[in-house]
């Protein structure tokens, strides 16, 4: 009798942040107190005024399908966000609500590329990019970046890679995961314009917009009408479990994305859409939450170097990406040992960089400030 096997496309590497989360959860089930610094999940609940909108809508007793591209109220709110934040007129017709940013990336890759097309990402980078690209039958081209370019892709590097292997697309995040580094407006403009000149579809991951500490973030929409922008309510807006995000699409891709989304997702969850449309009204509450992240970031930047970690500049997002070469040459084993002996959960760099990740690890500072300080105390004791 033949043995049932999974498909070749399912043979992607595991998402180590989630593997660590699973191990941490097992420790908690045994009654241990685990400090979670492995996933970029905001520790704060929804602001009361946003939660009340969800509660009131839920009490209506009816939740159903919506338009595949999202309810009008949400799209109007998102359009207003671009006007208020960036001074840009973004037509509601180009805005597409998604089931989290994950669905946004699926739709971007499916609508923007054909089987076998090459899509570039930076390394280190979010591992799900690589996995989604490969699962969908595209070729992932990883471009190493480092401190010489502040961990960012430059037009010169992109053009060199494009000459060597013709690219159809490139995906860039600013602020970035795992490094937290950001591109200046001029740097982003140069990269976007290079993509337009080379005929490369630019996908801008802007899910950490709102979470900038050293400079103001910029959107790719300022520089081109040809890019796909992916954003999410998971990070700044603390709606991780609601699974709601959005895209801004070139006009030519609106209908293709809609056709694909109708079959893959039908529509994003109605309750999440209604709640997300109200989140833009709670900026004052969200800025208080962001101030907590900033304080947590400061704690890690002040203490990790004293413990032997080399930290990468943290302009935004929710992470410190730290070199561990002074402590170990195996970040995976180091993180596993740290979790077992200190109950501090972090993510090994091999999740984000297949060639150099053994020298790095990622700390999330999205949690409670008391937990961040306690984690530092545990690590000081453990490493002393």
**Domain coordinates in residue numbering, the chain:** 8-45+284-383, 62-280
Closest CA to 15 of 355, 363, 352: 352
232 forms beta bridges with 245
376 has a pLDDT exceeding 90: yes
Q: Which two tokens stand for residue 226?
A: 């040809």
Per-residue confidence (pLDDT) for residue 353, from 0 to 100? 97
Percent of the chain with pLDDT over 70: 100
CATH number of the 62-280 domain: 3.40.640.10
* DSSP assignment string, 218-278: --GGGT-SS-EEEEESSSTT--GGG--EEEE--HHHHHHHHHHHHHHTSS--HHHHHHHHH
Per-residue confidence (pLDDT) for residue 15, from 0 to 100? 81
60 has a pLDDT exceeding 90: no
The pLDDT tens digits of the residues spanning 320-373 come to 999 999 999 999 999 999 999 999 999 999 999 999 999 999 999 999 999 999
The pLDDT tens digits of the residues spanning 154-165 come to 999 999 999 999
6 has a pLDDT exceeding 90: no
Distances (CA, A) of 52 to 46, 130, 165, 279, 325: 10, 38, 52, 11, 48
Distances (CA, A) of 201 to 56, 152, 163, 285: 41, 18, 16, 36
The topology under which CATH files domain 8-45+284-383 is 3.40.640
Measured CA to CA, the distance from residue 211 to residue 214 in angstroms comes to 10
Hey, do 8-45+284-383 and 62-280 end up sharing a CATH topology, with the first three levels equal? yes
């Amino acid at each position: 009798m033949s043995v049932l096997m999974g498909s070749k496309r399912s043979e992607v590497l595991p998402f180590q942040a989630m593997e660590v989360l699973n191990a941490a959860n097992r420790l908690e089930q045994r009654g241990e107190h685990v400090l979670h610094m492995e996933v970029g999940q905001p520790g704060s609940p929804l602001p009361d005024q946003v939660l009340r909108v969800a509660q009131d809508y839920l009490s209506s007793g009816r939740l159903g399908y919506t338009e595949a591209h999202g309810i009008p109220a949400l799209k109007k709110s998102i359009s207003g966000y671009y006007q208020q934040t960036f001074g840009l007129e973004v037509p509601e017709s180009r805005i597409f609500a998604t089931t989290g940013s994950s669905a946004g990336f699926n739709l971007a890759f499916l609508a923007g590329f054909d089987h076998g097309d090459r899509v570039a990402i930076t390394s280190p980078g979010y591992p799900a990019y690589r996995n989604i690209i490969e699962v969908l039958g595209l070729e992932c081209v990883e471009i190493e970046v480092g401190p010489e370019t502040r961990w960012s892709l430059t037009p010169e590097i992109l053009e060199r890679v494009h000459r060597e292997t013709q690219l159809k697309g490139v995906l860039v995040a600013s602020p970035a995961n795992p490094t937290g580094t950001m591109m200046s407006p001029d740097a982003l403009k140069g990269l976007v314009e290079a993509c337009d000149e080379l005929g490369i579809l630019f996908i801008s991951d802007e899910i950490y917009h709102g979470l900038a500490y050293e400079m103001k973030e910029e959107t790719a929409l300022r520089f081109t009408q040809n890019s796909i922008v992916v954003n999410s309510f998971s990070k700044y807006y603390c709606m991780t479990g609601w699974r709601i995000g959005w895209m801004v699409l070139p006009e030519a891709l609106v209908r293709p994305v809609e056709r694909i989304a109708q079959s893959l997702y039908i529509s994003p969850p109605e309750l999440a859409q209604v709640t997300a449309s109200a989140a833009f009204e709670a900026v004052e509450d969200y800025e208080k939450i962001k101030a907590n992240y900033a304080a947590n970031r400061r704690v890690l930047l002040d203490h990790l170097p004293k413990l032997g970690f080399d930290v990468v500049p943290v302009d935004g997002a929710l992470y410190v990406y730290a070199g561990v070469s002074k402590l170990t040459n195996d970040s995976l084993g180091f993180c596993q040992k740290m979790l077992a002996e200190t109950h501090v959960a972090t993510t090994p760099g091999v999740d984000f960089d297949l060639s150099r990740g053994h020298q790095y690890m990622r700390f999330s500072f999205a949690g409670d400030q008391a937990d961040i300080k306690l984690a530092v105390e545990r690590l000081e004791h453990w490493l002393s």
